[in-house]
Each structure stands twice: as C-alpha cells, then as structure tokens.
Amino acid sequence: MNSIIEIKDVSKAFGGVIANQSISINVAEGGITGLIGPNGSGKTTLFNSIVGHHPIDSGSIKFEGAEISTFKVQQIARLGLLRTFQQTRIYSKMNCVQNMLISIPHRTSGILDMFKAHSPETNERALELLEFVGLFSKRNLIAGDLSFGQQKLLEFAMALMNEPKVLLLDEPTAGINPTLINGLIDRLKMANEQFGVTLFVIEHNMRVIMNLAEHIYCLAHGELLAEGKPDDIQNDQRVVDAYLGAH
C-alpha cells in the first residue's frame, strides 16, 4: 500500500523538553493506523507537528508526496488533512446543525462563496451525518450545552462533513460511555471503508486500538519505541515495559 503521510526524522522540543525525537512514521493510504504511548510520550505533539500547529525543529513531513512541514494550519486542512482535538473543540455558541454546515470543505471556495446560501444538499448531508453519530435529536441544541462525550461525537461528525482524505483522531473514545464504544468503533470503520477516509488514531484504550488499527506505532519518551501489527505490538516486551513505567 502507498503511504499518504510520510514522516521522516521529525524532532520537536519545547525549551528543554524533547517531545519528539527523530520520529519516522508512515501512514498507509486507505487504512487505519494507530499511535499509542504512555502519557506525555509526545503523541499529541506529533499530531500538532503534522497539521502545522507549530514549526518542527528538524525532519520532513510529506502529504501525498509533497512537503507540508512549512505550511500553515489552514492550508494543510484544505489539502484534506484534518485533525480532531484531544480537548474536544466545537463552536460552542452555535447549534449542532450550524456546526455541521460550516464544516463543509473549504478547499475550492472562492471569495464570493461566502455570500452563498446553504444548499439543500448540504443541509441534508449535515442531518445525515448527525444521525450517523446518533446526535440527530440534539441537532437544534447549542453545542456548548452538550455533554463532553456528545461534543466528541459532534466533532467527529464535523470532521466527516469536511470530507477529508486523512483524519487524525486524538483519543476518539476518551470520555465516551463504554457501552457506546463498540458503536463508535463500528462508525470509525464505516467512515474508513464507506467514505474512504484514511484514519490515524491516538488511543489509550488497548482493546479499541487492537480492534481498529491495521498497523500500530508506539512512542515512549518522545522516541519511536516499536511498530508492527496489533499482535506483535501487544506481545512486544518493550511496549509492555513502557506502559508499566519500568523504563
């Protein structure tokens, strides 16, 4: 399979803290790739580097073969590389439908498009996706009034509305009711298979990530510790040690 994201020797330090050190990762096109690691191991930092949230110190990040490590956040988003936030972010004073409507792709929108009305198809699509994540009944509520888990689902729906090529999900199941997690896994898989979105997922829940991902990378102390198929990772002594803090 082709790699849609190629990360090579990326390093990033905050003052004295080395959050990422010479990390190389490939995300396969059309697949689901996992990223795990103990708290503070640099996973979110890596996501931030990919989407242009901060400059990297060294290394290269390629998306569809083109270097993007100097691009700005918006440019990268418009290329079709989107992320959700660990601390869930939605437009808190707008209702769910409005949140969805403004999440349409902005790739080709010109300056006059801002004066267009919302097409009925867009409306329909927004409602469809809200139904897809199970928020249809909440559609007219102000998004800031939703529970944390519901906001997480809304954020996921908004990301799908944007029709990204790759979606970086930062802990999609954190804060979601355990009984709903299986449903969410199914939806992630459906997004991947039916909408053709490549997924790159940070996850602490081992059961979820082993179930979901085809290939997993493990970070520890800002370095790449291991990579491989879910089974290999699960049985890798270094990974087990890292999680138990025996490092």
Partner 1 sequence: MDNISLLTMAPVLNVQLLVDGLLIGAIFALVAYGLALVWGVTNVKNLAQGDFVMMGGYIAYAMTLAGIHPFLALPVAIVLMFAFGWLIYKTVIYRVVDKDLFTSLLATFGIAIVVQQLLNLIFGPEVKIAESGFGIGEYLDGGLTVSNIKVIAFFLALALALVVVLFMKKSRMGQAIRATSQNARAARIMGIDTDKVYAITFALNAAICGAAGVLISMIWVIQPYFGTSYSIRAFVIVTAAGLGNLPGVIMAGLGLGALEQFGSFILGAEFQQAIVVGLLLVILVIRQIQQSRHRQVVK
Partner 2 sequence: MRLSQNSIALYVVVIALGFLASLLFPNELAQISGLVIVVVLIQTWILANKYMSVGQRAFVLYAVVIICGIAAPFAFPNYVTQIAILWLMILFALTWDMMGGQMGYNSLGNIIFFGVGMYASAIVQIGLYYDVAQYTSHAGAVKVQYDWFQYVFGMGLGLIAAAISAVVVAVVLGRVVFGLRGPYFAIGTLGAAIAAGELVGAWDYVGGGGGITMPTFPGSGDERSLFFYFALFGLALFTFAFLKWLYSRRYALAVNAIRDDEDKAEAMGIHTLRYKTVAWAMSAFLLGMSGAVFGNMSGFVEPLEVAFPTITFGIFMVLMALLGGKGTLWGPVLGAVVFHIIKELTWTYFLGWQWVALGMLIIINVAYFQQGILGWAQEKWPDFFGLTVDESDTREAAADASGEASK
Ligand X SMILES: Nc1ncnc2c1ncn2[C@@H]1O[C@H](COP(=O)(O)OP(=O)(O)OP(=O)(O)O)[C@@H](O)[C@H]1O
Residue 5 CB, shortest distance to partner 2, in Å, is 16
Instruction: Encode burial over 115-150: b for 16+ CB neighbours within 10 A, e otherwise.
Output: eeeeeeeeeebbeebbebbebeebbeeebeebeebb
Nearer to ligand X, 44 or 151 (CB): 44
The answer to whether 20 and 12 are in contact (CB under 8 A) is yes
Is residue 89 close enough to count as binding partner 1 by CB under 8 A?
Answer: no
- Residue 88 has which token pair? 């869930």
Is residue 44 close enough to count as binding Mg ion by CB under 5 A?
Answer: yes
Q: What is the rounded CA–CA span in Å between residue 206 and residue 167?
A: 20
Is residue 19 close enough to count as binding ligand X by CB under 6 A?
Answer: yes
The amino acid that residue 236 corresponds to is D
Q: What is the rounded CA–CA span in Å between residue 31 and residue 188?
A: 11
Nearer to Mg ion, 100 or 218 (CB): 218
Given 27, 46, 68, 101, the residue binding partner 2 (CB under 8 A): 101
The answer to whether 164 and 197 are in contact (CB under 8 A) is yes
Burial of 158 (0-12, 13-18, 19+ CB in 10 A): buried
Is residue 15 close enough to count as binding partner 1 by CB under 8 A?
Answer: no
Is residue 84 close enough to count as binding Mg ion by CB under 5 A?
Answer: no
Nearer to partner 1, 12 or 138 (CB): 12
Residue ranges that bind ligand X, judged by CB under 6 A? 14, 17, 19, 37, 39-45, 86
Residue ranges that bind partner 2, judged by CB under 8 A? 51, 53, 72-74, 77-78, 82-83, 85, 89-94, 98, 101-103, 105-107, 109, 111, 113-118, 127-128, 131, 136-137, 140-141, 158, 162
